[in-house]
Structure 1
Amino acid sequence: MEKLQEHFIRIRKLLDNTFFRILFFLVLGIVLFTAMFNNVKPEKLDIELFSVAGKTIRSPGTVEDKKSTEKKRKEARDQVQAVYTLKNEYTQNRVDLITSIFSAAAEVNDEVKDNKKKQAAEASEEPPQIIEPSVSEKVTMLKSKLTPTVSKDLSDQVFSALVQANNEELSIAKDLTVTAINNVMTKRISADEVENAKKRVEEEVKYSALSENMRIAAIDLGRYAVIQNEFYDPSATEELRRQAAESVEPVKILQGQIIVEEGKLINQDIYRQLKLVGLLHNEKSFKPFIGLVVLISIILTSLYCYFYQMKSHPEKRQSFLLLFGMIFILSIFLLKILSMLQVFNYSAIGYLFPAALAGMMIKILIDEKLAIMTSIILAVCGSVLFNEGVSGTLNFSEGIYILFSALGGILFLSNQNQRSKILQAGIFSAVVNLLTILALMYLPNGQYSGLEYGYYFITALVSGIASAVLTIGLLPFFEASFGILSTMRMIELSNPNHPLLRKILMEAPGTYHHSVMVANLAESACEAIGANGLLARVGSYYHDIGKTRRPNFFIENQIHHDNPHDRLPPDKSASIIIAHVTDGSNMLKKCHMPKEIIEIAEQHHGTTLLKFFYHKALQANPDVREDDFRYPGPKAQSKESAVVGIADSVEAAVRSLSQPTPELIESLVKKIVADRLQDGQLNECDLTMKEIETVTFTLCETLKGIFHSRIEYPELTKKVKQA
C-alpha cells in the first residue's frame, strides 16, 4: 500500500504541471469517447428498394418530411374555392341608367308640349294649325339625349313605346322596371346566371298593368339593365390559399415512429423516409461523433473550471483531481460493462448500475458539490450508454434513474458522517430507486405483470445495496492510497474506544482530560474562523499521545505522586518534556495515523521555549543555550495546528489558576497569544490578525463558560464545616 501511495504522490506532483493536468483531462475525454462511441455510431441498414424489411424499423430522431409537407400544403391550396366579389355599385349604376332613359322620354314629352304651346301662341289663324312631331322624330329626339351606346343597344320599338307614352305611364313603368332590376341585382349574378337573372326581371314586369307596348319596352329595358355583378377576386383568393397553406402543420417523422414493419415491402415512399432520417448511406455521417465530442468537451470544461476554482491548497487540489478521476473512470467502466449486457435483451439492465456509488464516495472524500455535479454527468453518460432498444440517442428514463439514485445517497449522507451510515444510505438509495422506477413505469400508463414488478424491485434493491457495499469496500483503499482524512475517518478516530485514546485514558488520565478540554477549545475557535473544527478536535485528542511514554513527568498526571523533576537537572527535565512531541509523532506514524493528525502533534508547540526549565538552568549556568530548551518544531503550518497549539497553552495556563476570574482569564489568554505572535510561532500559517482576534475572543468566551463561578449550596457548606 505504501508503494501504491508513493506512485499516487508522483502522479499528483505531475498534475502540478499545466501540461500534465490538461493531459489528464484529455485521458478522461478519451475514456468517455471510447465508452460511448458505439452508442452514438449511426446504424447502417443494408436495404434495397422494393425489398422486404427484415425487422421493424423506427425513426432514430424527429425529422421534417418536407416533400410530404409541401404535398399537403398544395392540397390545402387546391381545396380553397375561388373568391368572387359582389359589386353592389353596379346595381345602382344600372338603376340610374334606366331611370335616366325614362327621364329622357319624359323630357321629350315635355318639349313636345312646350312646342305645341309655342305654335299656338304664334299662330294668327283661328283655329291654329299645330304640327306635332312624328314618332320617328320623337325617337330621334330621345336618342339625342342618350349616349350612342344606349341608342345602339336598345331597339327602336323600345324608344317608340317610350315616346308614345305619357309622363304618368312613364313614371309607372319606370318604378316597376327599377324595382324589378333592384330586386334581381341585389343578389349575386355570375356570368352563367345573367340570362336567368334577365328572365326573373321579365317575370316581374310582364304581369304588370302597363299597356302592351309599354310592357314590352319595360321588359327590354329591364333585361338590358341586368348585367353580371359577381367577379373573380384574384388577390383575395390568393390570400385565402396562402392562409390555408400556412395552417398546415409540417409533416414530421417523429422519433420512435415506425417507418416500416417487419415483413412489409419497402416502396419508394418508405425508402425516401429511411433516407430522410439518415438510416441509408449514413456510414459517412460524422454529425453524431461531432455531437459526442461537443458533449464531452462541455463535461470536461465544467470539471476543469470546478477544480481550477476550488479553494484548496494546490497539493490537496491535485490529490482530489486524481481521486475524482479514478472514481469517475471506475463508474464509467461499470456503466459500460452493464450496457454491453443489453445484447441479451434483458429489460432495464441499466437499473442494476450502482448509481449512488460515485456520489457517496466523492461526497465523503472530496466535496458534496462535486458529488452532485458528478451525478449529473453520470446521468447524461448513462442515458447515452443505455440507448439500446429506445428511439433516439438518449435513454431519458435511465438518466433520470441514475440522477435520482445518486442524489438520494448524497443527500442522506449530508449530515451523516459515520461509516456505519453508508449502508443506511444505500438502503435509502434503493427506496429512491424503487420510487423512481415506479414513476417511470406509471407515467406512460404502462401495463406490467407481477413478475416484471418483482424484477424491477430486485434491480432497485441490488443497485442501492451494491452502492453501499462498494463504497464501504473502496473507501479504505482510497483513504490509505491518497492519505485522505475524511470526515468519517475523523469521527472514527474520535471514538473513545480507539486503542490510542484508550491508551491515553488508562496510562495518562490527566493528559486525556487535558486533551478533551483542548479539543473543545480548539474546535470552537476553528469553527469561528471557518477552519476545520472537527480536524482540530481529533488532532487535540492525539496531540499529547507522546506523554504516555513517561506520564508521571507531566504535571496533569502527578496526582498523589511526587514531581520527578525535583530530582533532575533542568536540561534533563527539558529533554524529557520536549521528547513527548517526537515520541508522539513516532507513535502516530507507527499506527499509520493520517498525516494531518501527525502534523498537529508535531507542530502544536512549534519552537516555543520551555521558560520554567530555561530560567531554572540560567540560575545554575548563565551560559546555557536557549535553543536547548526550545521544542524542535516545525512551527504551525495550518490554521488548525496553530489553534490547537494556542488552546493547549491556554488550557494549561488557566487550569493552573487557583481562582480564575473572567478578567484574569481574558488577560492570560491575550498574553499567551501575544507571546506566540512575538516569538514568531504563527508566521508560517495563514492566520490573519482578524482571525487571531476571533480565536482569542472565542477561547475567552469558552473558558469563561467552563470556569464560571458556582454558588455554594447551604446544606453542603454546613456539612463541610461540621466535618
Structure 2
Amino acid sequence: MSDQNTATQPSTSVLSKLRAFLKSSLFAKSTIILVGTLIIFLICAAAITPVRYQLSIGMVPPHTIAASRDVVDEITTEQNRVQAALAITPTYRYQEGITDQVLHQLEAVKAELDGVRQYAMTLPDYGPTRHYSAQELQEAGDMITLATFRDFQLITLMNASQNSFEELFASLTQAVRNTMQGHITQGQETIAISSIMQIIGYRTSVSLLQNVALPVLQAIIMPNMVIDEEATAQARQDARDAVEPVVYKQGQNILVRGTGRIKANELEMLNTLGLLSNNRVDYLPYLGTLGVVFLSLLAMMVAMRLLWPRLFNRMPSLILLYMVLILVCALCYFFKAIQLPYAAPLVLMPMLIVLLMGAIPALLATVSGAIIAAFMLGTGGTSPQEMYTLLTMFLLSGAAIITILGRRTLRSMIFVAGLVAAIVSFLTVTGIGLVATVDRSVLLERALWAGAGSMISALLCLAIQPLLETLFNLPTPNRLYDLSSPNHPLLRRLMLEAPGTYHHSVILANLAEAAAEAIGADALLARVGAYYHDIGKLKQPLWFRENQIGTSNIHDGADTKTSVSMITGHVTAGLALAKQYRLPYAIQQIISEHHGSTLVSYFYSKALKESSSDNVVVEADYRYPGQKPRTAESAIIMLCDTVEAAVRSMPSLAPHEVRRFIGDLIKGKVDDDQLSDSPLTLRDLDLIREACATVLHGVFHERVEYPAPPQHTSLRGQLMGALSGTYPAARRPRKQDDDTPTKQST
C-alpha cells in the first residue's frame, strides 16, 4: 500500500505542476505569441500561393501570367547550346606514317588485281571483248579483299591490256604520293580522290579511270589530318557552357493574354514554377515564408523585451500588438489580391501602435511588419527591385508617422501624419524608380498609389483607433484628455461631494505633472492619475479632514481601528469605482498603489498611547493593504501626495526649508521600503524634490500687504478708487480654512 502511495506521489506532483503552468500568465502570453505568429504565417502563405492554370501547347493564352520568381527557359537554352556546339569547327591533328601506309595499301591492291587478271588469262577464249559468266565473275571478285569491285568493274579490269594496267598504276602511285604530301582532312577524302582522278585522267581511259582507279582510290585513301576527338569535344562543351541561360526575371510576363499561342518552352516554364493545375505543391516557399515570419517576429519580441518590457506586464497589450499586426497583414493580402501592392495601408500599423502604445513599440513593430509585408507583397509576380522599393517606402513613411504622432497624439494630427507619409511614400517610390529606370507612366502610377495608401491608412486609423482604445481601455493621450475634463462624472461628484479632496487632487496634479516632466515619465498620466487617486473618498467623504468643513472631526468619537479601516478603505473603494467607470488600468494601478503599504502614523501613535497589556497593538493593522508602487507615475503620486499634505503643517514656508522638508519626507518613504519596486533612481528623487519645491513655492507664495485706504474717503470712493487704480485694494485677511497651514491630512 505504501509503495502505491509512493508511486502516485510523483505523478500527482507532475499533474499539479502542469495545471499550475496552464493557469500561469507565462502560458497565456506564450499562447498569444504562438497563435498570433501562426495567423500571420497563414496570411503570408495564402498571399504567396500561386494561382494554377489549365493550359496546353497551341492554346491562345487566356491570362497574362508573369514569373513568380526567376525561371530558366530550359528548352530555348538547350536549343541555343546545341547550335553553339554545332558551330564549332572540329580540331584536327596530323597523323604520321599515313602516306607510307596508303602506298603500301596501293601495292597490295595492285597485287590482288594482278591475280584477277592472271585468272582471266587462264580462261578459254580470253580476249579484250570476252564475256564472263556469273560464276567466273564470282570467283574473280572473291580474289579481291582490299577493295570492292562490281561485275562491270571486274570486266573492265580483266579485259584491260597489260600496258594500260601498268600505266594506270604508275600514274596512281605518283599522284597518290604527291597528294599525300599535303593535308587530307578527315571527312574530305572525296575531295582528294577527285583531285587524283583529275591528275591521272589525262593519260588514262575513261573506263579504267571510272571502273578501276576510282574503287582502288576509295579503298586506299586515308586522311592524314584526323579529328582530335577530345579537343573537339572540349571545345564544343566550352561553347555550350558559354551560352547564357535564357532567364525570365521575376515579374516578367511569360504569357500575354490573347497574344500568340502557347509554346512548349513557355509551358515548361509554367510547369517549373508550379503554375499548372497538374503540378504538385512545392513546400519550399512555405518553409521560407515561415522562416521570415518567425525570425522577424522573434527579433521584434526580443527587442521589445529589452527596450519596452512593460509590453509583457499585461496580456491586453500583447493581444493588441498582434491584433494590429494581423489586421495590417490581412489588408496587405487584400490589396495584393486586387493587384495594388503599392496601395497597401501598412503605415496603419505605426499609426495605431504609436497612438495606443507609444513610440518605441511602434518603431519595433514597424521594422518587423515592413519586412513581412514587403516579403508578402513582393513575392510572386514582382521583381526584387519592387520588393526593395516597398520595404524602403514602408520604413521611411513609418518613421515619419512615429516622429509626428510620437510628439502630438491628438486625433487631428492623424490626417496630417497621413499626408506627410503620403508625400514620403510618393518621393521614395519616385526616387528609386528613377534610379532603376522604370517606365515613366508605370512609375507615376505606382507613386500615386503609394501616396493613396498612406491616406487610406489615416482614414482607417481615425475609424479603428477609438474602437481599440475603448475595447482595451487604454490610457492613450486622447483618452486621458477626456478623463481630465471637470465634466467627467467622477470628477463632478468629487467636486460637489468632497470639495476638499478635489482641491487636494488639483494641487497634487500640478505637483505630479511637474515631477513627471522632470524625470521623463508620462506627465499626462501622472496628472490624470492624481485627479482620480482619491475617488474612493466619495464613499465616506466626511471621514477625511479636508472635507470636514464647518463640522467637528468625526474621528474624535471613533476608536482607532474604525478610523484606520475607514481611511485605508478608500483605496479599495476607489479601485471599485475605477472599475465601475472603466478607467484605464494604469489609473487603477495608481489608485491601488499611491499609498503602498505605508503606516497610518497618527492613529498608530494614538493606538499605542491607548493600548494596555491586554490590548497589544499590531503595526500591520495600521498599514495600507495596498501594493507598493511599481511604475514611476505611481511612485511620483505617492511622494507628491505625502508632500502636499505635509507641507501645509510647516510653520515656515521658506524655499530652503521646504526643500529640506520634502527631502526628509522622500527619505522617509525610502527608509520605509515603499519605493523598492519602483523604477525611480536617486537622481530621479532629487529631481522630484526640486520640482515639488518649485510648484509649492508658487502655491504658497507671499503677497504684498497693501495699506488701508484713507479714513475720510467714503466707501463708494474707496471702491471707485480701487477700480480706477487711485487707491490700492485692501488686503483681505487670510482664512484659516484656505491658506493657514494645518496638521497633516489623514
TM over 0.5: yes
2:669 equivalent to 1:676:
yes
Deviations 1:462-503 (A, max 9, x none): 443123212223321122xxxx43444334323344332233
Which runs of no fewer than 5 residues in structure 1 stay unpaired? 1-9, 83-190, 192-239
2:365 equivalent to 1:374:
yes
Match of 1:331 among 325, 328, 333: 328
2:587 equivalent to 1:597:
yes
Contact 1:42 1:288 in 2 (8 A): no
C-alpha deviation, 1:264, in angstroms: 2.6
Paired with 1:323 and 1:79, the residues of 2 have a C-alpha distance of 68
Residue type matched to 2:292 in 1?
A: L
Contact 1:408 1:429 in 2 (8 A): yes
Deviations 1:40-91 (A, max 9, x none): 34565555556655555544433456874995899699799x9xxxxxxxxx
Paired with 1:46 and 1:720, the residues of 2 have a C-alpha distance of 97
Paired with 1:51 and 1:722, the residues of 2 have a C-alpha distance of 103
Paired with 2:270 and 2:609, the residues of 1 have a C-alpha distance of 102
C-alpha deviation, 1:436, in angstroms: 6.6
C-alpha deviation, 1:649, in angstroms: 1.5
Residue type matched to 2:405 in 1?
A: L
Q: Look up the match of 2:472.
A: 478
C-alpha deviation, 1:634, in angstroms: 1.7
**Local SS of the residue matching 1:592:** coil
2:284 equivalent to 1:287:
yes
Q: Look up the match of 1:650.
A: 643
Contact 2:426 2:448 in 1 (8 A): no
C-alpha deviation, 1:416, in angstroms: 1.9
2:536 equivalent to 1:540:
no
Aligned pairs for 1:379-418 (under 5 A) are 379-383=370-374, 390-391=381-382, 396=387, 406-418=398-410
C-alpha deviation, 1:14, in angstroms: 5.5
RMSD: 5.4
Match of 1:522 among 512, 522, 544: 512
Deviations 1:238-294 (A, max 9, x none): xx9999999987654333444455443455665666667776785354433333233
C-alpha deviation, 1:512, in angstroms: 3.0
**Local SS of the residue matching 1:538:** helix
Residue type matched to 2:298 in 1?
A: T
After TM superposition, the structure 1 stretch with the greater mean CA deviation from structure 2, 62-71 or 288-297, is: 62-71
**Local SS of the residue matching 2:492:** helix
Deviations 1:602-646 (A, max 9, x none): 332344444444545665665584659724422424244343222
Which runs of no fewer than 5 residues in structure 2 stay unpaired? 1-18, 92-182, 184-234, 710-727, 733-746
- Alignment CA distance shift 1:295-1:241 (3 Å): same
Q: Look up the match of 2:69.
A: 61
Paired with 1:263 and 1:518, the residues of 2 have a C-alpha distance of 78
2:519 equivalent to 1:511:
no
Deviations 1:680-703 (A, max 9, x none): 4445x2457xx2564155314531
Q: Look up the match of 1:358.
A: 349
C-alpha deviation, 1:387, in angstroms: 6.4
Contact 2:498 2:547 in 1 (8 A): yes
- Alignment CA distance shift 1:59-1:634 (3 Å): closer
Q: Look up the match of 1:40.
A: 48
C-alpha deviation, 1:409, in angstroms: 3.9
2:255 equivalent to 1:253:
no
Q: Look up the match of 1:464.
A: 458
- Alignment CA distance shift 1:361-1:616 (3 Å): same
Paired with 1:535 and 1:568, the residues of 2 have a C-alpha distance of 39
**Local SS of the residue matching 1:658:** coil
How many residues align structurally?
554
Q: Look up the match of 2:224.
A: none
TM-score in terms of structure 2 length: 0.59
After TM superposition, the structure 1 stretch with the greater mean CA deviation from structure 2, 668-677 or 620-629, is: 620-629
**Local SS of the residue matching 1:417:** coil
Contact 1:485 1:594 in 2 (8 A): yes
C-alpha deviation, 1:456, in angstroms: 8.7
Residue type matched to 2:492 in 1?
A: R
Residue type matched to 1:604 in 2?
A: H
Residue type matched to 2:327 in 1?
A: L
- Alignment CA distance shift 1:564-1:406 (3 Å): same
**Local SS of the residue matching 1:707:** helix
Q: Look up the match of 1:178.
A: none
**Local SS of the residue matching 2:638:** helix
Contact 2:45 2:286 in 1 (8 A): yes
- Alignment CA distance shift 1:275-1:630 (3 Å): closer
- Alignment CA distance shift 1:673-1:635 (3 Å): farther
- Alignment CA distance shift 1:314-1:378 (3 Å): closer
Contact 2:29 2:318 in 1 (8 A): no
Deviations 1:89-122 (A, max 9, x none): xxxxxxxxxxxxxxxxxxxxxxxxxxxxxxxxxx
Paired with 2:84 and 2:336, the residues of 1 have a C-alpha distance of 47
**Local SS of the residue matching 2:330:** helix
Contact 1:552 1:558 in 2 (8 A): yes
C-alpha deviation, 1:39, in angstroms: 4.0
Paired with 1:722 and 1:461, the residues of 2 have a C-alpha distance of 60
Paired with 1:609 and 1:61, the residues of 2 have a C-alpha distance of 71
Q: Look up the match of 2:479.
A: 489
